[in-house]
Amino acid sequence: MEHTFTGTVSKKGVPLFSSAFTAAHSKLVKYVVDGTQPAKFVDQVRVLDLRNLIDVDHDFNSIDSIPGFDQVLIEEYELYVNNHGPLVVKLSIDTNIDLMLLRQRQAPTLTNNHWVI
């Protein structure tokens, strides 16, 4: 669907979009080019993508860079990485993860609903 902007909308939008692109560009330069990427966080957050469960560190106590992770019960985490997550990946079609299936698998075992999707 095509949309034509009026002169007024274009004049107001240019500074906003310019600011957003400038911010995104500076972060990309900082993290990718300069190499100051928060590697520990990026590495640890991979556990949240079910497709990465095979090749990430499962040690609950080693995850300290994800905000709020300290509120997750270790029992729920272990069910996620050792049972529910791998099963959902196994049942996925063409690497398309069915998040509703994960939620249905987790619901009966969650006490605090930390992994609600």
Q: Is the pTM of this model over 0.85?
A: no
pLDDT tens profile 63-104: 988 888 888 889 889 988 888 888 888 887 777 777 777 777
| C-alpha distances out from residue 14 to 6, 18, 61, Å | 12, 6, 46
What gap in Å lies between CA 99 and CA 3, rounded to an integer?
34
Asked whether residue 117 carries a pLDDT value surpassing 80, the answer given is: no
Instruction: Tell me the DSSP string of 43-109.
Output: HHHGGGSGGGGGGS---GGG--SSTTGGGS-HHHHHHIIIIIHHHHHHT-BTTB--HHHHHHHHGGG
